[in-house]
Amino acid sequence: MHEYVGALHIHSNYSDGLRPIPEIAEIASQSGIDFLLFADHMTLEPLKMGMERWFGPVLSIIGYEINDADNHNHYLAFGLDEILSPQLNAHEYVEGVKKKGGTGFIAHPDEKRTAFKEHPPYPWTEWDVSGYNGIEIWNHASEWLEKLTHTNKYLRVLHPLKYLNGPEPETLKRWDMLNKESVMPGIGGLDAHAYPYRIGPITIYIFRYKVLFRGIRTHVLLEQEISENITDAKESILDALRRARCFITNYRWGDARGFSFTAGEGKNIYHMGDTIKGNSAEFNVMLPQPGHIFLLRDGCVITKVYNDKLTFKATEPGAYRVEVKKKSRPWIYSNHIRLRGNN
């Protein structure tokens, strides 16, 4: 497997982000990022301007972020040539993206924040929709703003990556439930804007791209080396995301390149996103450096160890995934491998 590291859900100055795409790509390149998924609000202008391309070693993929009339139900859409009508409701745009052969992810689904009136939450409310390809289970801006209070704001501004405690428990619960039924990929997003933020007389930029690129990353695993051809390269990345052949990390606690979560052995190796027929399987976890490894089945921890590897013989069907912590801070979230019984 070939591993590529992405920073997903980036806003540029085509909407409310601070910097132009070529500059962001340059910062990404210096940060060791392999690909970027841009999602400016309600516009595919950067696509028309030729911004979907390689910038040196960094692949820039252009999608956009859709919202409804109440500015709720944010949806990250990729692989479209032009935007859908801006007047649609969530059901219509989820279906619209699918119909046009695009790929869509529900963004920051359980966002709730109350401390600052100027930063209201934008949750997903339309859970009876179907046809989306995955869920952004971890969103930097959401989590950071949600836990922001008037007393901790200075510390949080100084250390934007240190206080990330992981995805919303509600989101994880829903994600695990959905995976009991069928594969539902989870991705991690930055929601990077580089907002100007005033503290007294000083304006500082929180969520600077350079800082965020050292935070939440989504690693994809491809069967072949990525193509130089932009269309093929883009399709292989989106395909890995749609198949849940990916995992999410907070780079702040270490570079997770080399992490693997597989089942089976020899010729019959299963990867994240795969479904295994049967009631038993041997799961294997490998880490590039030791951490607290938790193996979960349907959202419940079934075994844990502090090590750089774990082997576990499972004898019950369910959706299995891995979480790894570094000194109690969340470091890695795998996607699921499903053991579905004999039916």
The contact set with Zn ion (CB under 5 A) reads: 65, 74, 107, 191
Report, in Å, the least distance between residue 125 CB and Zn ion: 13
The alpha carbons of the chain give a radius of gyration, in whole angstroms, of 19
Beta carbons within 10 angstroms of residue 21's beta carbon = 24
Q: Smaller CB distance to Zn ion: residue 141 or 339?
A: 141
Query: Which residue has its beta carbon closest to Zn ion?
Result: 74
Report, in Å, the least distance between residue 285 CB and Zn ion: 32
Report, in Å, the least distance between residue 11 CB and Zn ion: 6
At which residue do the structure tokens 């019950």 appear? 316
The strand ranges marked E within 193-242 are 195-199, 202-206, 216-222
Report, in Å, the least distance between residue 20 CB and Zn ion: 17
Residue 201 half-sphere exposure toward CB, CA atoms < 13 A: 0
Q: Smaller CB distance to Zn ion: residue 63 or 79?
A: 63
Report, in Å, the least distance between residue 105 CB and Zn ion: 11
Q: Smaller CB distance to Zn ion: residue 12 or 262?
A: 12
Q: Smaller CB distance to Zn ion: residue 176 or 191?
A: 191
Q: Smaller CB distance to Zn ion: residue 41 or 156?
A: 41
Report, in Å, the least distance between residue 16 CB and Zn ion: 8
Q: How far apart are CA 10 and CA 78, in angstroms?
A: 13
Phi, psi angles (nearest 5°) of residue 98? -65, -45
Residues 6+ apart with CB under 8 A from 140: 164, 189, 190, 191, 192, 207, 212, 215, 216
Q: Smaller CB distance to Zn ion: residue 74 or 217?
A: 74
Please spell the DSSP secondary structure of 25-79, one letter per residue.
HHHHHHTT--EEEEEEET--HHHHTT-SSEETTEEEEEEEEE--TTS-S-EEEES
